[in-house]
């Protein structure tokens, strides 16, 4: 008999609290201003302003989403030419954040 | 014909797409933040070339390659990507099957150009996500999976009537899915070394040596398989369970109980999401003194309340007979599942149900870990 299909929603890590201090030294978690293009249900960030400095996005490396309750967070790995950053857009609050320097 | 789509070093490839500086470098994805106290849950092909593979303790991996790149696993990213890839595969219009987070199957029936279909899927995945997949094509799932392994990474291999004997003759039987060390030993005793040797055996012989599994193996190799049209028709689970391994063994009762509580919460939340209750609770523990301990108990009253499941699990745990056993890994599973039959009778039970409904609503609105029993905080605080 064919086994039942994989269920990606049977998440094992959803409730598991991450113990201890995060080892990721690049964590930032600050609000930023972003110029982005919203086209055909997709988001293309073009530049962001962080601590009064403008960062032009040369390349969008990857993007993914996470649902947290009613909030849908869109994550982006972006390349400014000199550094890589993870920024995110919250559909519920329409707010942008810089999560970390990758 | 079946297409088996297997993502190449899935988690590691996604991390390399997120951070292109990691491309072409030996990289491991660890299941936890602490890079020296976890296990490899994925390795890039550059790391695999150094003898590093999934399941290896990271300490060993770093001993093999001190300059190894390390990234902690981010399941959200992998699950989202996996679902998107499944969406791309379904767009082909054929019956698709979600095998695991990084494996998918497609029943292309008697389509004229299987290799063309597979090439288009590989290109679509690569264009959309910047990662590669290997695809095997064969008359059944077992051979298609084998075919996908034979041209990894970023490969495409079709096993048909013209090349099946050659392909199987060149492949050791151990590469076939489901052939573990014990089966391999038994096959060696029969003189079976290659997949072709195995393919040539009669069903009677395989049944005599391996029982019903032998017959399944024969059918798996020889059948012309089709996938069910709707493999999610009966989506109701038979059991729901969660487990966790600690970075190191602990005998701290508060810490262990907090983890049992957390796993019970996770199980109960999923029971309620499916509108199911459970009569049977199963607990398994693993530790240096107790080895593998596993016990279950069926209760008269079904429940979907986490605190009740937790209390039942603790009653099972009392069977160990040791006061403070060292525990390395543990799991809680609920089974004998049924839909709730009767509404709560007594006021206290009704209030409890209302409370749980409210908590689920809050977590559904603000995210799963918004409100939870304070005991769960102990999973972070102590070891």
Return the domain boundaries, chain A: 25-101
Q: Which residue has the tokens 């052939």?
A: B179
Pair A88, A75: CB distance under 8 Å: yes
Q: Is the pLDDT of residue B276 over 60?
A: yes
Which of B209, B229, B249 is at the close of a domain? B229
Q: List the single best residue of B220, B368, B378 to mutate versus A (max A Cβ within 10 A).
A: B368
Cβ–Cβ < 8 Å for B278, B236: no
Which residues 217-276 of B have a C-beta within 8 angstroms of A? 227-228, 231-232, 234-235, 240, 242-244, 262, 265-266, 269-270
User: Which domain CATH number covers B206?
Assistant: 1.10.150.20
What is the ipTM for the molecules in this complex?
0.85
Instruction: Say whether residue B359 is in contact with chain A using an 8 A CB cutoff.
Output: no
pLDDT bracket for residue B382 (50, 70, 90)? low
What percentage of chain A exceeds 90 in pLDDT?
63
pLDDT over threshold 80, residue B81: yes
Nearest residue on chain A to B140, alpha-carbon basis: A2
Q: Are B131 and B121 in contact (CB under 8 A)?
A: no
Residue B344: its pLDDT value, please? Answer: 80
Does residue B104 form part of some domain? Answer: yes
- Chain B residue with CA closest to A82: the answer is B21
Q: Does one domain contain both B186 and B244? A: no
Which of B19, B86, B273 should we substitute to test contact with A (largest number of A Cβ atoms within 10 Å)? B19
Name the CA radius of gyration of chain B, rounded.
Answer: 24
What range defines the domain where residue B100 resides?
A: 1-138
Chain B residues lying within 8 Å of A88, measured CB to CB: none
CA distances from B271 to A55, A84, B155, B264 (A): 47, 41, 41, 10
CB-based contacts of A5, cutoff 8 Å, min separation 6: B97, B98, B99, B231, B232
Instruction: Give the model confidence (pLDDT) of A12-38 as tens digits.
Output: 454 454 444 445 567 889 999 999 999
Q: B127 to chain A: nearest residue by CA?
A: A62
Other CB atoms within 10 Å distance of the CB of residue A26: 13
| pLDDT at position A22 | 46
Mean pLDDT calculated for residue range B188-192: 85
- Residue B330's pLDDT is 92
The per-residue pLDDT for A4 is 54
Q: Which two tokens stand for residue B127?
A: 């264009």
pLDDT greater at residue B177 or residue A57: A57
Task: Name the residues of B annotated as catalytic.
Answer: 103
State residue B235's pLDDT score: 64
The answer to which of A65-69, B331-335, B367-371 has the lowest mean pLDDT is B367-371
The token pair at B117 is 């279909």
Mean pLDDT of A62-66: 94
B229, B252, B278 - which closes a domain: B229
Under a CB-based contact definition with an 8 Å cutoff, are residues B284 and B331 in contact?
Answer: yes
Establish if A13 touches chain B: CB-CB under 8 angstroms.
yes
The answer to whether residue B309 is domain-embedded is yes
How far apart, in whole angstroms, are the C-alpha atoms of residue A46 and residue A40? 16
Say whether both B103 and B174 belong to one domain.
no
The C-alpha atoms of residue B74 and residue B344 are separated, in whole angstroms, by 40
Which residue has 């899935």 as its token pair? B10
- pLDDT for A8 beyond 80: no
Of B33, B82, B262, the CB nearest to A18: B33
The CA distances from residue B30 to B41, B53, B59, B301, B313, in Å, are 5, 11, 11, 41, 30
Helix and strand totals (H; E) in chain B? 15, 12
Q: Which residue has the higher pLDDT, B252 or A57?
A: A57
Residues of B in contact with A8 (CB under 8 A): 79, 82-83, 98, 101
Q: Which of the two residues, B32 and B8, has the higher pLDDT score?
A: B8
Whether B302 and B211 map to the same domain: the answer is no
B300 in A contact zone (CB under 8 Å): no
Task: Say yes or no: B62 and B4 in one domain.
Answer: yes
Task: Say yes or no for a CB contact (<8 Å) between B75 and A11.
Answer: yes
Q: Where residue B112 sits, what CATH number does that domain have? A: 3.40.1170.60
Is B273 a domain residue?
yes
**Angstrom distance (rounded) from CA B192 to CA B198:** 6
Task: Please determine, for residue B209, whether its predicted confidence score (pLDDT) is greater than 90.
Answer: no
Question: Does some domain include residue B234?
Answer: no
Q: Is B19 on the interface with A (CB under 8 A)?
A: yes
Q: Check residue B185 and give its pLDDT.
A: 86
What residues of chain A lie within 8 A of the CB of B219, using their CB? none
**Among B182, B197, B229, where does a domain finish?**
B229
pLDDT tens digits, residue range B325-356? 889 889 999 999 999 888 888 889 899 999 99
B185 in the same domain as B118: no
Task: Provide mean pLDDT across the span B363-371.
Answer: 84
pLDDT at B383 over 80: no
Q: Does A69 contact B372 at a Cβ distance shorter than 8 Å?
A: no
Chain B contact probe: residue of A16, A67, A93, A102 with most B CBs at under 10 A? A16
Residue B144, pLDDT score:
95
B107: its two tokens: 């029943």
Contact across the interface for A62 and B379, Cβ inside 8 Å = no
How far are the Cα atoms of B105, B107, B245, B368 from residue B176, in angstroms, in the given order? 17, 20, 29, 40
> Does B19 sit within 8 Å of A8, measured CB to CB?
no
What gap in Å lies between CA B376 and CA B60, rounded to an integer? 32
Among A13, A22, A71, beta carbon nearest to B75: A13
pLDDT above 70 for B299: yes
Contact criterion met (CB below 8 Å) for B353 and B320? no
- Split at pLDDT 50, 70, 90, the class of B26 is very high
**Domain count within chain B:** 3
Give the residue from B287, B282, B284, B257 showing the smallest Cα distance to B379.
B257
Which residue of chain B has the CA closest to A60? B18
Instruction: Give the pLDDT of residue B345.
Output: 83
The reply to whether B112 and B65 lie within a common domain is yes
Q: Hey, which bits of B163-308 come out as E strands?
A: 240-250, 277-287, 291-303
A7 contact residues in B (CB cutoff 8 A): 98, 235
Location of structure tokens 């003194």: B289
Residue B149 lies in a domain: no
Do A66 and B76 lie within an 8 Å CB cutoff? yes
Residue B155 lies in a domain: no
**Is there a single domain that holds both residue B261 and residue B348?**
yes
Mean pLDDT along residues B76-96 = 92
In this prediction, residue B258 carries a pLDDT of 92
Task: Give the per-residue pLDDT at B232.
Answer: 52
B117 and B3 Cβ atoms separated by less than 8 Å:
yes
What is the Cβ-side half-sphere exposure of residue A61, based on CA atoms within 13 angstroms? 24
Q: Could you tell me if A24 lies within 8 Å of chain B, comparing CB atoms?
A: yes
């Amino acid at each position: 008999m064919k086994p039942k299909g994989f269920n990606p929603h049977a998440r094992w890590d959803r409730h598991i609290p991450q113990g201890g201090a995060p080892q990721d030294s690049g964590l930032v978690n600050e609000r930023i201003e972003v110029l982005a293009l919203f086209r055909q249900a997709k988001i293309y960030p073009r530049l962001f302003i962080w601590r009064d400095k403008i960062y032009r996005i040369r390349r969008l490396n990857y993007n993914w989403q996470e649902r947290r309750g009613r909030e849908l967070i869109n994550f982006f790995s972006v390349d400014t030419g000199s550094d890589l950053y993870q920024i995110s857009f919250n559909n519920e609050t329409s707010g942008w954040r810089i999560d970390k320097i990758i | 014909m079946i297409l088996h789509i297997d993502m190449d070093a899935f988690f590691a490839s996604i991390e390399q797409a997120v951070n292109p500086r990691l491309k072409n470098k030996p990289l491991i994805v660890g299941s936890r933040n602490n890079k020296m106290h976890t296990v490899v849950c994925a390795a890039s092909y550059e790391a695999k070339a150094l003898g590093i593979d999934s399941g290896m303790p990271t300490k060993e991996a770093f001993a093999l390659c001190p300059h190894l790149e390390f990234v902690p696993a981010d399941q959200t990213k992998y699950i989202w990507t996996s679902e998107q890839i499944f969406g791309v595969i379904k767009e082909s219009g054929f019956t698709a099957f979600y095998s695991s987070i990084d494996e998918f199957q497609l029943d292309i029936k008697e389509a004229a150009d299987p290799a063309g279909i597979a090439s288009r899927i590989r290109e679509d995945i690569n264009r959309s996500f910047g990662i590669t997949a290997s695809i095997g094509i064969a008359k059944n799932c077992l051979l298609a999976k084998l075919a996908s392994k034979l041209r990894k990474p970023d490969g495409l291999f079709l096993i048909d009537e013209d090349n099946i004997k050659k392909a199987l003759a060149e492949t050791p039987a151990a590469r076939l899915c489901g052939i573990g060390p014990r089966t391999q030993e038994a096959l060696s005793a029969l003189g079976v070394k290659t997949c072709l040797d195995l393919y040539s055996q009669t069903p009677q012989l395989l049944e005599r040596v391996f029982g019903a599994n032998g017959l399944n193996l024969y059918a798996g190799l020889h059948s012309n398989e089709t996938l069910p049209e709707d493999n999610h028709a009966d989506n109701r689970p038979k059991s729901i369970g969660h487990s966790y391994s600690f970075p190191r063994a602990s005998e701290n009762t508060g810490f262990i109980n907090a983890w049992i509580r957390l796993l019970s919460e996770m199980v109960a939340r999923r029971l309620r999401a499916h509108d199911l209750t459970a009569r049977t609770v199963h607990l398994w523990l693993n530790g240096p003194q107790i080895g593998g301990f596993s016990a279950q108990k069926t209760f008269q009253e079904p429940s979907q309340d986490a605190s009740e499941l937790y209390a039942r699990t603790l009653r099972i745990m009392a069977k160990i007979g040791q006061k403070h056993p060292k525990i390395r890994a543990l799991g809680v599973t609920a089974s004998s599942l049924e839909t709730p039959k009767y509404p709560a009778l007594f006021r206290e039970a009704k209030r409890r149900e209302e409370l749980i409904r409210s908590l689920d609503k809050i977590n559904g609105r603000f995210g799963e870990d918004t409100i939870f029993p304070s005991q769960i905080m102990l999973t972070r605080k102590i070891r």
